[in-house]
């Protein structure tokens, strides 16, 4: 039976930790220059409705390092739902390639792909979740803090897809998550009700108090450009800066999934400072996504 990775909730607690372990092993092998052509002659189709530096480079590079091949399908190449229906695209891709990764606007697009494909489908980002990003985030926290369960994570900013996936991860793995958003910008309520160890506040200072990890993201995501100026005003008290971080644990680390709008949600001195592990996160997208592709190929 084929498996997909559309949501963090698609995994069990054990499967998440198995993926972290596999990601670390693949990372160690890569650092040592040891080849691991586990997906030799396999092909990944990368469907993009939204452009991305990290998603494209890490999936394409990861597939190459695993001995396979990746095909980039730009928004103009496929035009899901207009030039061709999503089910028809899914059925056609299933006849040609071994895996599909889709970075889309509407979450329904990636779920429809998964429902109609006979090969594994990976959610590279949708408006509801960003599960690959959060798997990479958790791997990075494990590397720096050793244990997830005893780690207090504070997420400051927009209750977006990354925030939803963090809530899902907290529900499965049991780490403490505090979210601070402006009123009206809270994460999806269906996610909040599933996470007993997630707390919501509208006070960023309260959220970061004694936090081990402080995480932020852009205030306006792709597709929200018309709201950008309004959001700058609403979110300005939620900027990660030195003053706010004085309330965090003295050994805190700073995370951001990138790209960053420097001077908006995060200041230069914070993202470039000694507490920042932002570029460790960026690197780990490569390693955890390789693990996800290997694992899905073995399950299906």
Active-site residues, by number, are 103, 130, 133, 217, 257, 285
Cα–Cα dist 294/19, whole Å:
9
CA-nearest of 278, 298, 289 to 23 is: 289
DSSP 162-200: HHHHHHHHHHHH--EEEEE--TT-PPPHHHHTT-TTEEE
Cα–Cα dist 91/97, whole Å:
11
Cα–Cα dist 271/288, whole Å:
22
CA-nearest of 102, 120, 109 to 42 is: 120
CA-nearest of 67, 76, 1 to 36 is: 67
Q: Which residues of 162-196 are buried (b: 16+ CB within 10 A; e: fewer)?
A: bbbbbbbbbbbbebbbbbbbbeebebbeebbeebe
DSSP 133-153: HHHHHHHHHHHHHS-STT-EE
Beta bridge partners of 255: 215
* C-alpha triplet 239, 151, 187: angle, nearest 5°: 50
Cβ contacts of 274 within 8 Å, gap of 6 or more? none
- The helix (H) or strand (E) run that includes residue 293 is helix 278-299
């Amino acid at each position: 039976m084929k498996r997909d990775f559309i949501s963090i909730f698609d995994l069990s607690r054990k499967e998440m930790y198995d993926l972290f372990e596999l990601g670390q092993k693949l990372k160690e092998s890569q650092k040592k220059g040891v080849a691991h052509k586990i997906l030799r002659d396999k092909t990944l189709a990368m469907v993009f409705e939204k452009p991305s530096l990290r998603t494209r480079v890490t999936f394409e590079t990861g597939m190459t390092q695993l001995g396979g091949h990746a095909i980039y399908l730009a928004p103009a190449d496929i035009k899901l739902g207009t030039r061709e229906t999503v089910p028809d695209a899914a059925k056609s891709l299933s006849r040609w390639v071994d895996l599909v990764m889709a970075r889309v606007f509407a979450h329904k697009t990636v779920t429809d792909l998964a429902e109609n494909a006979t090969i594994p489908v990976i959610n590279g980002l949708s408006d509801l979740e960003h599960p690959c990003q959060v798997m990479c985030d958790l791997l990075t926290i494990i590397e720096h803090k050793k244990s997830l369960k005893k780690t207090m994570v504070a997420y400051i900013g927009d209750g977006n897809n990354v925030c939803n996936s963090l809530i899902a991860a907290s529900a499965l793995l049991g780490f403490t998550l505090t979210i601070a958003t402006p009123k009206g910008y809270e994460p999806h309520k269906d996610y909040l009700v599933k996470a007993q160890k997630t707390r919501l506040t509208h006070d960023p200072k309260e959220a970061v108090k004694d936090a081990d990890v402080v995480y932020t993201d852009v205030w306006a995501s792709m597709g929200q450009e018309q709201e950008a100026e309004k959001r700058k005003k609403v979110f300005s008290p939620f900027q990660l800066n030195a003053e706010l971080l004085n309330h965090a644990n003295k050994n805190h680390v700073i995370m951001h999934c990138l790209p960053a709008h420097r001077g908006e949600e995060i200041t230069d001195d914070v993202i470039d400072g000694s507490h920042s592990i932002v570029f460790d996160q960026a690197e780990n997208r490569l390693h955890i996504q390789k693990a996800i592709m290997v694992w899905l190929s073995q399950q299906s």
